[in-house]
Each structure stands twice: as C-alpha cells, then as structure tokens.
C-alpha cells in the first residue's frame, strides 16, 4: 500500500523531459535539479518524499537510459501511475525499485490529490475526491523486486 500526493502531468512525457540529456554527465544528485524542467521548472523543489508521479499516455518514451527513473527515485517519488507507459521506461522503473501501474482513469486525478494505492488489489483510492479507480495489479515476482529495492538488490538476495 502506497499513499502520497499526486504530481500530475500530461501525455507524451518522454525521458528527455524527465531527465534532460544535457545533464547526463552529472551525478544523479546534481542532475535531479533539472528533472522535468522543460515542463515544470520547480519540479525538483516541490517533490516531497513519498509523492506519486501521475501522467497520461505514453509516459517515458525515448531513451532507454536509467537516469530518468533514477532521478525520480532520488527526488523521493514513491510510485508512478500513468494511463500507458513506454515499455522500456516501465521496466526501468521496476528495475530501480519504483512501483509503476497503469490506470485508465488518470485524467480524473488532479495535482495535489492524496492517493492511496493497493498494488496487490489493483485499486487507487483518491482520498481528496472520495473516488476509486481500477489500476493494474502487480504480479508477485514484480512485487518481490520492488520490495527488495530494485532488481540488483533482488538478485543479490537471491544469490545468498
């Protein structure tokens, strides 16, 4: 169960918007200052630990580099909810330990709404609007990766 405030964005937010390529040579900590700056220059200042990144269709298209999900993780994003994802970005989120679920009703969620997500049941409760939406259920093997903190940590645990 994850609970947090929604940071809401639209369709076609690509990896170059999430993590601008001109800052790729910087550390994740330094590059995080520029996350989402093309559409929200104050993003890095307003993100609070535990916030949920909510978007429309085609989230994360573009590059397959992991800097975009790593930047979101560094800033404290606890979960990503989108109407649809670019598959590589979706998998990269899971690989770095950020749960990601598809929800056809992200258009009903507004900036600042308090959300409570049950990934096992596939339900998002919007506590602000007193609404409930169906979302993708995360399978057990994906939950294990997320609970371990990402794919690398999961594989290290499995090796022991």
Tell me how far apart the alpha carbons of residues 57 and 24 are, in angstroms, rounded to a whole number: 25
Higher pLDDT, 20 or 64: 20
Measured in degrees and rounded to the nearest 5, phi and psi for residue 130 equal 55, 45
- What is the average pLDDT value for the chain, to the nearest integer? 95
pLDDT score for 160: 55
Per CATH, domain 2-159 is 3.40.50.970:
no
Residue 117: strand pairing partners: 2, 124
pLDDT score for 158: 75
Give tens-digit pLDDT for 47-104: 999 999 999 999 999 988 889 999 999 999 999 999 999 999 999 999 999 999 999 9
User: At a CB cut-off of 8 Å and minimum separation 6, what does 41 contact?
Assistant: none
């Amino acid at each position: 169960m994850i609970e947090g405030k929604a940071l809401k964005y639209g369709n076609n937010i690509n990896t170059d918007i999430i993590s601008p390529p001109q800052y790729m040579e910087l550390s994740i900590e330094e590059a995080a200052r520029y996350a989402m700056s093309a559409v929200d220059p104050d993003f890095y200042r307003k993100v609070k630990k535990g916030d949920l990144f909510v978007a429309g269709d085609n989230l994360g298209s573009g590059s397959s580099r992991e800097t975009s999900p790593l930047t979101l993780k560094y800033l404290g994003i606890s979960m990503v909810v989108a109407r649809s994802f670019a598959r590589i970005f979706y998998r990269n989120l899971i690989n770095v330990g950020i749960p990601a679920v598809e929800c056809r009703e992200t258009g009903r969620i507004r900036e600042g709404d308090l959300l409570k997500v049950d990934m096992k049941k596939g339900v998002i409760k919007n506590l602000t609007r007193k609404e409930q939406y169906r979302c993708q259920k995360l399978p057990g093997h994906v939950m294990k990766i997320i609970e371990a903190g990402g794919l690398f940590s999961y594989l290290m645990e499995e090796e022991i």
